[in-house]
Amino acid sequence: MKLLLDTHALLWWWTDDPKLSSIAREAIVDAENQVLVSAASAWEIATKYRLGKLPHAVQALGRFNELVAADGFEHLSISYLHSLKAGAYSNEHRDPFDRILAAQANLERAVLMTLDPVFAGFECRVLW
């Protein structure tokens, strides 16, 4: 199965936070699964750190690539197709990070690993 981690799932994985569900944890460690990390997560972490909403994310910023590689995850760039899909959603949800993650999950045929109920309004599969 192809999994795309929402930013909170990625951060909770890196910090071994108990808020990461056991289902999510098991799916991430399953060697049969391909785990993707979107460039949108790097963008979101950097933005929220700058705004003071993620003050403890300094390690995630400074070591983003190293941490992704150490876990055997794969980077997922944002393509123009992802961007067109994200912009075309009729859903009124305005968060650009959520919109691009939904589009990427849809177009890459990945299951989005997220706790966020907002994704029920997008055409993507979710696991938590």
Please name the amino acid found at residue 121. Answer: G
Domains of the chain, earliest start first: 2-127 (3.40.50.1010)
The token duo for 80 is 């123009």
Q: Is the pTM of this model over 0.75?
A: yes
N residues, the chain:
128
Per-residue pLDDT of 31-75, as tens digits, reads 999 999 999 999 999 999 999 999 999 989 999 999 999 999 999
Rounded to an integer, what distance in angstroms lies between the CA atom of residue 127 and that of residue 115? 8
pLDDT value at residue 93: 85
**Per the structure block, which two tokens stand in for 36?**
């993707």
